A and B are shown apart, each in its own frame.
Chain A
Amino acid sequence: MNRIPLRQAARTLRIQILRHNPRDPDSQPRLQTFEIEEADAMTLFIALTEIRERQDPSLQFDFVCRAGICGSCGMIINGRPGLACRTLTRDLPEQITLAPLPAFELIGDLSVNTGKWMRGMSERLETWVHSQNLESLDIDAMEAAMEPELAEQIYELERCIECGCCVAACGTARMREDFVGAVGLNQVTRFRLDPRDERSDAAFYELVGDESGVFGCMTLLGCEDMCPKDLPLATQIAFLRRRMAATT
């Protein structure tokens, strides 16, 4: 009856972690290997928690929801960015290398300051509905109607969890620190699609019509391929590029 996949012999995982504590003047970036016994249905969240509790209590990492919805635990897993909480160790080889997401400020070990980056991105791209009458809304009245399909399309783009995987997966962002990344470009398309946002294409052009915005994207497609939420980033960026190129 039990359908949870079963593994026969437990493996010993060798988890190699890039350690560095910038608060500690003596700390140098180094790789440290931890060995742990693999358990059934073990995720990297479980593995890292166990390492911290049993082997090295100073190990820093970020988990919040541990269910793949909050975007806290982006890290480089065997070379590629991904969400650690929903990465099952059984899908990985015995040798696992973990490193913090590049392109973000390092807090310590696997913990990076994605929050600061994302807030900066939001402020820069003004990722909110711009509307004249938000301050004087009549909230007793019926809500304005919206086509059901349109609402679903907006949600499709709104599913982004700002985990930073697309930024870490982007060769452009790695080379150019001011690049807004797929996360930023996707959010611009989300608000452009939203009829409640009254901004014109020219206004959006002011935000992303340059080399740090949509025209900086070199279409390496790391974002599309590494997005944990499977967002249609390539088509969205292409769409935005066409709109911005046509804006006068």
Chain B
Amino acid sequence: MQIIYTDVLVIGGGLAGQRAAIGAKRRGHDVIVLSLVPAKRSHSAAAQGGMQASLGNCLGAAGDNEDIHFADTVRGSDWGADQEVVRMFTHTAPKAIRELAAWGVPWNRVARGEREITVDGQRKTISEPDAAHGLITSRNFGGTQKWRACYVSDGTGHAMLYTMSNQAIAANIPVHERMEALALIHADGRCHGAIVRNLMTGELLAYVARATCIATGGFGRIYRVSTNAIINEGMGAAIALETGVATLGNMEAIQFHPTGIFPAGILVTEGCRGDGGLLLDCNEHRFMPDYEPEKKELASRDVVSRRMEEHIGAGHGVKSRFGEHLWLDIRLLGADHINNNLREVKEICQYFLGIDPVRELIPVRPAQHYSMGGVRTNHRGESPQLQGLFAAGEAACWDMHGFNRLGGNSVAETVVAGMIVGDTIADFCDSTAGALQLSSALVQEFGERERRRLAEIANGKGRESAFELARLMQETMTAQVGIFREGERLEQAVASLQELQLRSRNIGLRSSAPGANPELVTAYRVQRMLKLAQCVAYGALQRTESRGAHYRADHPRRDDLNWMRRTLASWPSADARLPVLTYEPLDIMKMELPPGWRGYGARDYIEHPDTGVRQQQVDAIGGGLDRADRHTRQEALMPFRHLLPEHLRNNNERLGEES
């Protein structure tokens, strides 16, 4: 087995992975990026609508700042997020976007003077100020008080990923494409790299590294209907779970995007609604204002998705032979706007539905979209249990999203986390703890273990089909661990998944083709995906409350009293049938923004006694500093800057704001 040594091994070539790689490389460390696919094909490219950063340039964003972005994000998370991390994030997001602007992303810009927009179904003329001309503009997104989603038409992720990849190429960072990490090499709570399979030749290699960073994105493909790319099978999270040491956080927190096109589940951006698009039912009636008078179509995704399913459940869905759906109407935005700012949407409608959204309605229904959970890390992006293992982006539970992520906060997280984690990885490598110390026997042992696992599948005489098991898992998850969850069905799901897991030990292959062997790939992945699916289902079963995207019909209220805590899942041993769940409390007494109503969605929740106490404290501290600037007030409530790398601590400059 070939062994490749490097300082930093980044698993995953999307935005988060490549940004972290660039950060570590700039600090003088050798970095290798592993990617299942060519880096520019990563799922980051699919982010369409925008990246949240409180620049506050255009009229709709005027007055925006980190504080408002922070509050929106925490409310969006239904108070499930780590507020310090949210602060780190909202503070760094403007820097991230400005860095990308200098690196080449062609962000759409503010044009001075009058222009027509669509708000609440009405055409309206606004006038952009001269001073903002040429600065980065932004559009409206769900769950936000300001227009904060900076965008590049509706190919934001594509433009960002290409710029990032090109900078990584410029920095001479090797990307080993079509490589899949099968296991993390670890001993005594320290991670040393990974055993990797070449997806072209089938060969096994070992990558030995001082620091290993998982940036493999989400695991949407455990569901049948998902907007995710088909490579989003969560293998990064799964290999972390299989260490038995590292934990996965909040796996039950799964986001469903309101507008997956029906029935394929391909995403059309939230920008459609942000720019003024409406949701209609079978009578072409705009129903969202009936449920959500405040934010209407632009409540957070969890709320809109639930309302849509609720409305379909009430018999207002549009019937088709594939099932029921609703309509997304962007006709009112006009041909010009659609052709310029929503062109990917237009292409998707043309190619997959054969319709022209300028003149026709788009059939949509919520589809699995994002995993808020992932490899649990501390604020530095490092696993608290497994030293030398880092994670960034969707693969991580850094925990800035809690139980629901706001649109546009994911691409923002990838870059921001990449910036921060790239630095903390470099710090780690520079420290004594980061020294490479392992025996080659350990590497051989892990390599041998993976070789045996593959051989068992390839030579086993099992009768189960990997494809069939994957299909059954996806059906189970979509049917029973979807938007509306309920105890009994979750119990069934857990049982079904356990059965599938047993069956997955008995997989037989029909093909023994040399090389990658796609059937073998499906086989070993489905074994791992079943573990992730079980973490989701079991976590959802145990969490007897409704918070953010996790909705329990039998426990419809948010329960701060019992559930102000983060789920941590670990997989105790190879033959375990369930994950071990532990819980990490979220301390209300340290929160800058104590729990309350989100401003949309359900109004009643079970309050924690600390909430009132903390709220009084917060009010008192704020009142005592009413003459101080917002940074000082914030600092008094919940200091966070010391958690950031030094060069990211300064205030962000803004139009019309003293820095």
Physical interaction between A and B: yes
Cβ of B229: which chain A residues have Cβ within 8 Å of it?
64-66, 70
- Say whether, besides A70-B229, A108-B515, A155-B152, A3 and B169 are in contact (CB < 8 Å): no
Q: Which of A3, A21, A52 contacts B515 (CB 8 A)?
A: A21
The residue on B at minimum CB distance from A2 is B320
Cβ of B166: which chain A residues have Cβ within 8 Å of it?
122, 127-129
Contact string, A37-60, partner B, CB cutoff 8 A, digits 1/0?
000110100000000110011111
Q: How far is the CB of A39 from chain B (nearest CB, A)?
A: 11
Cβ of A10: which chain B residues have Cβ within 8 Å of it?
none
Q: How far is the CA of A155 from the CA of B159 in the complex (A)?
A: 8
For residue A72, CB closer than 8 A to chain B, the reply is yes
Contact call B103/A134, Cβ cutoff below 8 A? yes
For residue B494, CB closer than 8 A to chain A, the reply is no
Q: How far is the CA of A88 from the CA of B38 in the complex (A)?
A: 25
For residue A68, CB closer than 8 A to chain B, the reply is yes
Interface size on A, residues (CB 8 A): 73
Contact call B134/A146, Cβ cutoff below 8 A? yes
- Say whether, besides A69-B45, A72-B37, A151-B108, A119 and B320 are in contact (CB < 8 Å): no
Contact string, B622-638, partner A, CB cutoff 8 A, digits 1/0?
00000000000000000
Contact call B319/A143, Cβ cutoff below 8 A? no
Contact call A148/B111, Cβ cutoff below 8 A? yes
- Say whether, besides A3-B361, A151-B109, A154-B106, A24 and B320 are in contact (CB < 8 Å): no
Cβ of A159: which chain B residues have Cβ within 8 Å of it?
155, 158
For residue B659, CB closer than 8 A to chain A, the reply is yes
The residue on B at minimum CB distance from A135 is B26
Contact string, B93-128, partner A, CB cutoff 8 A, digits 1/0?
001111101111011111100000000000000000
Contact call A161/B37, Cβ cutoff below 8 A? no
Q: How far is the CB of B375 from chain A (nearest CB, A)?
A: 22
Q: Which of B108, B178, B267 contacts A115 (CB 8 A)?
A: B178
Contact string, B235-268, partner A, CB cutoff 8 A, digits 1/0?
0000000000000000000000000000110110
For residue A141, CB closer than 8 A to chain B, the reply is yes
Contact call B46/A65, Cβ cutoff below 8 A? yes
Contact call B169/A128, Cβ cutoff below 8 A? yes
Contact call B319/A2, Cβ cutoff below 8 A? yes
Q: How far is the CA of A128 from the CA of B41 in the complex (A)?
A: 17
For residue B652, CB closer than 8 A to chain A, the reply is yes
Contact call A4/B322, Cβ cutoff below 8 A? yes
- Say whether, besides A2-B319, A58-B513, A72-B37, A155 and B653 are in contact (CB < 8 Å): no
Q: Which of A63, A68, A134 contacts B348 (CB 8 A)?
A: A68
Contact call B230/A64, Cβ cutoff below 8 A? yes
Contact call B104/A148, Cβ cutoff below 8 A? no
Contact call A143/B318, Cβ cutoff below 8 A? no
Cβ of A129: which chain B residues have Cβ within 8 Å of it?
102-104, 163, 166
For residue B509, CB closer than 8 A to chain A, the reply is yes
Cβ of B152: which chain A residues have Cβ within 8 Å of it?
151, 155, 158
Contact call B363/A3, Cβ cutoff below 8 A? yes
Q: How far is the CA of A126 from the CA of B96 in the complex (A)?
A: 23
Contact string, A131-170, partner B, CB cutoff 8 A, digits 1/0?
1001101011111111110011011001101100000000
Chain A's interface: helix, strand, loop or mixed, by majority?
loop
For residue B355, CB closer than 8 A to chain A, the reply is yes
Contact string, B157-190, partner A, CB cutoff 8 A, digits 1/0?
0110011011101100001011000000000000
The residue on A at minimum CB distance from B202 is A23
Q: Which of A64, A67, A151 contacts B231 (CB 8 A)?
A: A64
Cβ of B169: which chain A residues have Cβ within 8 Å of it?
119, 122-123, 127-128
Cβ of B26: which chain A residues have Cβ within 8 Å of it?
135
- Say whether, besides A57-B518, A62-B37, A140-B651, A115 and B43 are in contact (CB < 8 Å): no
Q: Which of A22, A60, A114, A143 contacts B518 (CB 8 A)?
A: A60
Contact call A151/B106, Cβ cutoff below 8 A? yes
Cβ of B319: which chain A residues have Cβ within 8 Å of it?
1-2
Q: Which of A2, A3, A64 contacts B37 (CB 8 A)?
A: A64
Q: How far is the CA of A114 from the CA of B95 in the complex (A)?
A: 33
Cβ of B659: which chain A residues have Cβ within 8 Å of it?
140
Q: How far is the CB of A189 from chain B (nearest CB, A)?
A: 13
Interface residues of B in 342-387 (CB under 8 A from A): 344, 347-348, 351-355, 360-361, 363
Interface size on B, residues (CB 8 A): 93
For residue B514, CB closer than 8 A to chain A, the reply is yes
Q: How far is the CA of A15 from the CA of B178 in the complex (A)?
A: 27
Contact call A67/B103, Cβ cutoff below 8 A? no
The residue on A at minimum CB distance from B36 is A64
Contact string, B506-548, partner A, CB cutoff 8 A, digits 1/0?
0001110111111100100000000000000000000000000
Q: Which of A43, A58, A143, A196 contacts B136 (CB 8 A)?
A: A143
Contact call A141/B354, Cβ cutoff below 8 A? no
For residue A86, CB closer than 8 A to chain B, the reply is yes
Q: How far is the CB of A5 from chain B (nearest CB, A)?
A: 5
For residue A242, CB closer than 8 A to chain B, the reply is no
Cβ of B43: which chain A residues have Cβ within 8 Å of it?
64-65, 70
For residue B153, CB closer than 8 A to chain A, the reply is yes
Q: How far is the CA of A131 from the CA of B134 in the complex (A)?
A: 20
Q: Which of A3, A24, A63 contacts B360 (CB 8 A)?
A: A3
Contact call A137/B655, Cβ cutoff below 8 A? no
Cβ of B163: which chain A residues have Cβ within 8 Å of it?
128-129
Contact call A155/B109, Cβ cutoff below 8 A? no
Q: How far is the CA of A64 from the CA of B153 in the complex (A)?
A: 22
Contact call B40/A158, Cβ cutoff below 8 A? no
- Say whether, besides A21-B513, A66-B229, A86 and B352 are in contact (CB < 8 Å): yes
For residue B321, CB closer than 8 A to chain A, the reply is yes
For residue A100, CB closer than 8 A to chain B, the reply is no
Contact call A67/B267, Cβ cutoff below 8 A? yes
Contact call B515/A23, Cβ cutoff below 8 A? yes
Q: How far is the CB of A176 from chain B (nearest CB, A)?
A: 23
Contact call A114/B106, Cβ cutoff below 8 A? no
Q: How far is the CB of B444 from chain A (nearest CB, A)?
A: 25
Cβ of A134: which chain B residues have Cβ within 8 Å of it?
102-103
The residue on B at minimum CB distance from A6 is B321
The residue on B at minimum CB distance from A46 is B264
Q: How far is the CB of A146 from chain B (nearest CB, A)?
A: 5
Q: How far is the CA of A213 from the CA of B655 in the complex (A)?
A: 44
The residue on B at minimum CB distance from A43 is B352
Q: How far is the CA of A111 from the CA of B165 in the complex (A)?
A: 22
Contact call B98/A151, Cβ cutoff below 8 A? no
Q: How far is the CB of A14 from chain B (nearest CB, A)?
A: 22
For residue B133, CB closer than 8 A to chain A, the reply is yes
Q: How far is the CA of A57 from the CA of B517 in the complex (A)?
A: 8
Cβ of A158: which chain B residues have Cβ within 8 Å of it?
106, 152, 155, 158-159, 162
Cβ of B655: which chain A residues have Cβ within 8 Å of it?
142
Q: How far is the CA of A1 from the CA of B360 in the complex (A)?
A: 12
Cβ of B354: which chain A residues have Cβ within 8 Å of it?
4-5, 88
Cβ of A142: which chain B residues have Cβ within 8 Å of it?
98, 135, 653-655
Cβ of A18: which chain B residues have Cβ within 8 Å of it?
none
- Say whether, besides A23-B514, A67-B46, A140-B95, A148 and B230 are in contact (CB < 8 Å): no
- Say whether, besides A57-B510, A151-B109, A68 and B347 are in contact (CB < 8 Å): yes
Interface-centre pick from B107, B200, B355, B653 (highest chain A CB count, 10 A): B200
Could you list 26 examples of A-B contacts with CB < 8 Å? A41-B263, A52-B519, A56-B511, A57-B511, A58-B513, A65-B41, A66-B229, A69-B45, A88-B354, A108-B516, A115-B37, A119-B175, A119-B177, A127-B166, A128-B104, A128-B163, A128-B166, A129-B103, A131-B102, A134-B102, A139-B102, A141-B653, A145-B134, A148-B108, A148-B110, A155-B106
Shortest beta-carbon contacts, A-B, top 8? A115-B38, A145-B134, A23-B515, A57-B519, A128-B166, A58-B511, A58-B513, A154-B106
Q: Interface on B for A, CB 8 Å cutoff?
A: 26, 37-43, 45-46, 55, 95-99, 101-104, 106-111, 133-137, 152-153, 155, 158-159, 162-163, 165-167, 169-170, 175, 177-178, 200-202, 229-231, 263-264, 266-267, 282, 318-322, 340, 344, 347-348, 351-355, 360-361, 363, 467, 509-511, 513-519, 522, 650-655, 659
Known: A52-B518, A60-B518. 9 other contacts (CB 8 A): A6-B321, A65-B46, A65-B229, A67-B352, A70-B46, A129-B102, A137-B99, A139-B102, A152-B153
